[in-house]
Structure 1
């Protein structure tokens, strides 16, 4: 890989970015049906002939004024709802689409795994498509012949490598596409959400390879809907909404903003301990217990939602407020709520996270098929009892409420931080988040903790 040019920033000298996106817009013309695309120019020519102005086309702005840089060796995750412009942005970066406005500069060899169906010719065999992909990247036939065995081994699709791609399942397609993308020595790897269709074992295999490429200094752009993937694998996050960059920064900040916006878009309210508006406060009781309570008026907090969370308290099964537990004890999450109008199908949720905001477990009355029945307006208290069969560590609790009246989950109120508990470590029990009960056997001799 050629040395990158150097840019000076004050007294510091930093390498130029390998990807630079500056004020990029992308506008698509929208047609009601395919025939309209052909007929509209003729209609406009006729309108001009009779002295009428041409009919303006319907436009869709997929991207608006998008700007960011990606440094050499940096992994950047892009997150956003469907239709936010993520895939369009990647296609512009790799050159399969042209921006309507703005400049994109890319330095180095780019290997891309875009949405399913992009990149391979369905009539060619898998082997022919691998050679074609290498030729597009400027690699010789002999280089691709040398790489072919490792590409085949990683893809693990057997004899299908010599069958037309149109006969592949979606999983086989992704296996071959990803294997090709990572073995052509890219300086920049671009991965869209195509990995989501692979099986769990292959996804793990791919993410392990991404870790290795990170250690080798490859720059990676990763589009994902998984906030955990963003937090675990990315150095930085970019949140797109309706074609605009909402936030470009630390992954935890991006995940928080994304989750908060999802609640807000559905008419709910997010209650945060660290908001400048101080929507929640920790109320210190005489006995030293800490309760998370709302300090805003209901209308200000819930912003029109059907229900809101008023307070959360963490206790043990004897009713004592605690934050330190031993392995195997049960945590009680007490939640007070206020319901403003009748809810036909209420849904109550709880989540356990790491201090790095990685979701470790989540449950709702809906996905556990707990039919709690309609709820009338008024004040209520519900509780979750959770067995703390966890390894010694600190765990953050989050709670939320909503409804499924329409058949889909609609958020009302959410507290990303509703307190934390510390589970005391057990001696000689291993490390991590889980606490399995292992059994080790050597030549028929059993050893149990």
Structure 2
């Protein structure tokens, strides 16, 4: 699967249509799903479109703070070589908020890099394509909107007109969307200008929490990129209104967590839904079996940060075991209402902070695993899945990383180099996080120890 290069004509047409743009952010996405790249001047765009840009290979071994992790063994040992990157056709777009002087474009690496999350997803899509199957995918993202922090200090104070009382969440209500309508209008304006297929927005159950859905694409790589770019659009709109948006999985211990739900189906060569049946096809059952069987192996992808594990609590619509069921929001693998062409899975495990490239790749790896081995998923769960026995997911970070590191399923899907480096990268992040003594340590223990 070759990524189409931005053409000179495309770049020239953009400049003519956007005379007010002076700066273009060119970026790719690291292991954490964070955009990293370079800012180029308007006058240099044509040259970059012709020749591309260089990015160090160490961009794929960075922690969320932007530090290169030596423990991966891929920094000094490699000489930190450069990757040649090209600009991706169809992604050069303006950012129509603020002063209007900025635009953005996605970069992709020319040569295959075994650590590139986009490449990992492409491998899974191509694996299915060789069997005549095309994944159709869409991402849903939950996030919180808060007042702007000062001096980099993290706060979670709801904006004016939005309740900060978790006992009055206004779930599915409209008043709080009305209060933030200028911000929401700009989110959708950015998405429309940038070609992101946004669908509905709704008020979620935390103070200042919302969810935006994206429409399905018969291109899983593009669907994952939609999720990544939606995060950037939401954050840009928030900044333009003196607000902040966060996709942290659990920004407040007493408030609802934020998840990433992925909808997925498979098409055959004629465009027919391979999951459709009465009520589902045998192939869909195998796919469900593979997703169940591999779910714990990929937990380190669903929950990629220390904070993400705080989201897995009872009675929070976050399954802590690999259950599946029809029209049941308590399960990890939900089959929504709909049949025929609308038959699909809703994968409900990942936190909103996860990397959509890796989340979708992991789901597809589970699907391929189940189909190849004809794994039966067992009976569907009815009612509260928390009352039904099932192997638990590893909801402690160290346990999920150990499972990921030794998993044959992960190794077969992503390759041993990716498995090793991702494990080392996240173990280093975990160790650094856990060594910090917090105010809570002193509050709870200083006078009793």
TM-score (norm 2): 0.24
Greater RCO (Cα-Cα under 8 Å, separation 6 or more): 2
Between structures 1 and 2, the one with greater strand share: 1
Which has the higher Rg, Structure 1 or Structure 2? 1
Between structures 1 and 2, the one with greater helix share: 2
TM-score (norm 1): 0.24
